[in-house]
Structure 1
Amino acid sequence: MKNFLTNRVLMVRPAAFTYNCETAKDNLYQKNDYKDDKELQKKAVIEFDALAEKLREKTIEVLVIQDTKEPHTPDSIFPNNWFSTHKNGTLILYPMYAENRRLERTSKVLDFVKDKEALKIIDLTENEKTGRILEGTGSMCLDRKNKIAYASLSKRTNEELFKEFCEIMDYKPVSFSGKQTVDGKKVPIYHTNVLMTIGEEYVLIFLDSIEDEKEKVRVRKSILDSGKELIEITEEQTNHFLGNALELRKKDGNKILVMSKSANDILREDQRKIIEKSAEIVYSDIPTIERYGGGSVRCMLAEFFL
């Protein structure tokens, strides 16, 4: 049986984690009620190290890049947005919405690539000049087994570029408009991986974020036709980052679903039972990273297939 999950993840240990005012324009999960940047950084590192250790305890290989203070990259802890790796030996670099996030792109990822000569690099970053943005596996949730890519369209997920990615990588594109409620109004959710997690046997999705009934039916059908069990999550659960999880495979072949403590705490028992039929739930407490970074566990983990 082919293995569509990885046993290796790349994480970037922050050097100056803080609230990013550039990304907060459309990432409405971020809060800015902090008082001390140094305290935020200190707490973020503790949370980062604890998550990395939990993954290692589950025999996941964790590749760590230590960020530097200069240039200042407050969101470097979320590397899955600017690159993705694939089993065919491809490394893809993505165009980023916030200018200060473009500084995160670094050649240090190549230090972990064993066979650099066989590596195929696809660089999509030129699209930043024309405002066509696609932020990696934040913008897209990939069903690697069935070669289906899901994307909730937003300022950070350009539909044309999404389709170009799918053409390059031979994925079937399924796009839609997922929205969240803010001050009584519906606004686009900034990243698809906030509202959707794809496991080998199931999909967690905030399906009610899709207001267009035809889009909702199409997404539901795509999930069910791919043979996966559909687990609908609520807006409240999405706000606690239940949609921002990642399934990985341990060295013994068994699967784990990694999420934050806040996500685990809001998981209903019926949902938990479906997940635990095929994967062990592993969680770590990252309240500082979630509150001030506006992302959770999945955003911190870049799958490494090379």
Structure 2
Amino acid sequence: MMTRDIESFLAFAPSAAPDFGPPTARAAFLVAPDGFRLAEQSAQDNAYMADAAAFDAARASRQHRDLQRALSAALPTVCFAGDPETPDALFPNNVFGTAAGRYVVGRMRHPVRQQEAARSDIRSFFRDVLGYREVDLSQQENPCELTGSLVIDRARGLGFCGLSERCDEAGARLMHEAFGLRATLMFDLADGEYHTNVVLAVLAGRAAVICPDGFADKAVVEAITTLYAPHAILCTPGEHAAFVGNCIALDQDKVWMSAAAGDALLPEHRQQLTDAGFEVAAVELDAIEAAGGSLRCCIGEVF
């Protein structure tokens, strides 16, 4: 099922059993921020990006290594070398995604990011090392920036796809099929938003972190809140701006976010996460956040 109809989605989604697959990844992969600088093409539709003067490549590299070290204590985490010609490559989840037995290559909107999809080393890792089948969407014309645009409840096989210049309806359908999902709800993001995973996180299939201002239609917010109640956290504008919505669960009992997000997280929302069974782990990423993404954007998941 793929639909924009909220009632149809809600008629199906609550009955989807949590047997679609593991709710969290078995490994993670990163791409180093080599050549870290302002990507002017990406800045055209990413309002979270800072001015060029705010980019500190050395600090970003140190923080990225700290992120890998922290994640490695939770699950195997590999890091591929970056490329100075692709300054956005430290956000690989938009380009490469995985599902059981296969990997998906997305179609990026901007040419500077389209170069990332051609990386033979990452493709070879999935194909030759892990033995995954390739689903290559990079050469068709519809933008579909994978788990930037599509937030997936891996336990139940449900997708939440925010449409913007980074993903159209045809691209959403291609991703729905590539990941083999049971049902995907499509909706418009609010003006100025570029990726769904900045305004929505589904944590191990049992909780959701939602930034209401990131959605064009508040009825979508209400639907997602209903689906994950009582473990639906509705972020304030301050939490939204600090990337609280750009968090991720990599196991059953911990949610990862940046230190800035952790500092902005209200005590009552931290308690909601605790009630859902999650401890909050935070990593300093302020230098990386200048590029318009935060912790979840840095993490590619291996399922």
Q: Confirm or deny that 1:104 pairs with 2:108.
A: no
Equivalent pair of 1:10/1:62 in contact (CA under 8 Å): yes
User: How far has the Cα of 1:146 moved from its partner?
Assistant: 1.5
Q: 1:68 corresponds to which letter in structure 2?
A: D
- The separation in 1 between residues aligned to 2:224 and 2:53, in whole angstroms, is 42
Equivalent pair of 1:209/1:235 in contact (CA under 8 Å): no
User: How far has the Cα of 1:111 moved from its partner?
Assistant: 4.7
Equivalent pair of 2:187/2:220 in contact (CA under 8 Å): no
Q: Confirm or deny that 1:80 pairs with 2:80.
A: no
User: How far has the Cα of 1:223 moved from its partner?
Assistant: 4.9
User: How far has the Cα of 1:112 moved from its partner?
Assistant: 3.8
Q: 1:273 corresponds to which letter in structure 2?
A: Q
- After superposition, give the CA deviation of every residue in 1:214-265 in whole Å (9 maximum; x if it has no partner): xx3345334533666211112221111111011102xxxx522111011001
Partner-residue secondary structure (3-state), 1:22: helix
Equivalent pair of 1:14/1:44 in contact (CA under 8 Å): yes
Residue 64 of structure 1 corresponds to 79
User: How far has the Cα of 1:117 moved from its partner?
Assistant: 8.3
User: How far has the Cα of 1:33 moved from its partner?
Assistant: 4.5
User: How far has the Cα of 1:208 moved from its partner?
Assistant: 3.6
- The separation in 1 between residues aligned to 2:132 and 2:237, in whole angstroms, is 40
- The separation in 1 between residues aligned to 2:52 and 2:157, in whole angstroms, is 41
Residue 136 of structure 1 corresponds to 146
Alignment of 1:215-226 (within 5 A): 216-225=218-227
Equivalent pair of 1:12/1:66 in contact (CA under 8 Å): yes
User: How far has the Cα of 1:167 moved from its partner?
Assistant: 3.4
Q: Confirm or deny that 1:177 pairs with 2:188.
A: yes
Residue 23 of structure 1 corresponds to 42
- The separation in 1 between residues aligned to 2:22 and 2:107, in whole angstroms, is 29
Residue 47 of structure 1 corresponds to 63
Residue 157 of structure 1 corresponds to 167
Q: Confirm or deny that 1:89 pairs with 2:133.
A: no
Residue 4 of structure 2 corresponds to none
- Residues 154 and 15 (structure 1 numbering): CA distance in 2 closer, same or farther, change over 3 Å? same
Q: 1:41 corresponds to which letter in structure 2?
A: A
- The separation in 1 between residues aligned to 2:97 and 2:135, in whole angstroms, is 10
Equivalent pair of 2:37/2:52 in contact (CA under 8 Å): no
User: How far has the Cα of 1:211 moved from its partner?
Assistant: 3.8
Residue 183 of structure 1 corresponds to none
Equivalent pair of 1:146/1:226 in contact (CA under 8 Å): no
**228, 234, 245: which one aligns with 2:247:** 245
Structure 2: which 5+ residue stretches go unaligned?
1-18
Q: For the aligned residues, what is the CA RMSD?
A: 2.1
Q: 2:97 corresponds to which letter in structure 1?
A: S
- The separation in 1 between residues aligned to 2:24 and 2:197, in whole angstroms, is 16
Total equivalences in the alignment: 280
User: How far has the Cα of 1:115 moved from its partner?
Assistant: 6.2
Residue 13 of structure 2 corresponds to none
- The separation in 2 between residues aligned to 1:142 and 1:264, in whole angstroms, is 23
Residue 197 of structure 2 corresponds to 193
Equivalent pair of 2:49/2:292 in contact (CA under 8 Å): yes
- Residues 117 and 244 (structure 1 numbering): CA distance in 2 closer, same or farther, change over 3 Å? closer
Partner-residue secondary structure (3-state), 1:188: coil
- The separation in 2 between residues aligned to 1:49 and 1:218, in whole angstroms, is 37
Equivalent pair of 2:127/2:133 in contact (CA under 8 Å): no
Residue 287 of structure 1 corresponds to 286
- The separation in 1 between residues aligned to 2:162 and 2:76, in whole angstroms, is 30
Residue 266 of structure 1 corresponds to 264
Equivalent pair of 1:203/1:228 in contact (CA under 8 Å): no
Structure 1: which 5+ residue stretches go unaligned?
180-186
- TM-score computed with the length of structure 1 as normaliser: 0.85
- TM-score computed with the length of structure 2 as normaliser: 0.86
- The separation in 1 between residues aligned to 2:183 and 2:221, in whole angstroms, is 12
Structure 1 stretches of at least 4 aligned residues deviating more than 6 Å after TM superposition: none
- The separation in 1 between residues aligned to 2:126 and 2:144, in whole angstroms, is 23
- After superposition, give the CA deviation of every residue in 1:55-92 in whole Å (9 maximum; x if it has no partner): 123x32111101233xx111111100101011x21100
- The separation in 1 between residues aligned to 2:245 and 2:60, in whole angstroms, is 21
- After superposition, give the CA deviation of every residue in 1:261-285 in whole Å (9 maximum; x if it has no partner): 1100110111101212312211111
User: How far has the Cα of 1:34 moved from its partner?
Assistant: 0.8
Percentage of matched positions with identical amino acids: 26
